[in-house]
Amino acid sequence: MSENSFVYVTYIRTTPEKLWQALTDPEFNRQFFLCSHQESDWKVGSSWKLIFPDGRVADSGEILEVDPPKRLVIKWRNEWLPEMKEDGYTRCTFT
């Protein structure tokens, strides 16, 4: 990961517990990822994948930090567009 930084803030009106469920529960997050879902055991060091409905891997990465339901940090890379995959990983933090 490079040293470049970009911060994008979105406020979601919900409880931390409900947002955590939306991020980590495959059936729940299918509603927000165009029928795609995430796969992980949500433990530090574990792999993370966003899977298209047809089974292809859209994005992948690694779980860097977990503090349910307050904080989730993942290393994230696009897997299906070669020009984006070449850009490498991004650190994504949900708080």
Distance CA 64, CA 83 (A): 24
Total-model pTM: 0.84
Q: Which domains does the chain have, with CATH numbers?
A: 16-94 (3.30.530.20)
| Residue-wise pLDDT tens digits, 27-77 | 888 887 788 999 999 999 999 999 999 999 999 999 999 999 999 999 999
Tell me which of 84 and 70 has the higher pLDDT: 70
Identify whether the C-beta of residue 21 lies closer than 8 Å to the C-beta of residue 28.
Answer: yes
Distance CA 35, CA 92 (A): 21
Three-class SS string for 74-87? EEEEECCCHHHHCC
Distance CA 37, CA 8 (A): 22
- Phi, psi angles (nearest 5°) of residue 77: -140, 140
Distance CA 56, CA 66 (A): 26
The pLDDT of residue 15:
95
Residue identified by tokens 């994504």 is 92
Tokens encoding 50? 């966003």
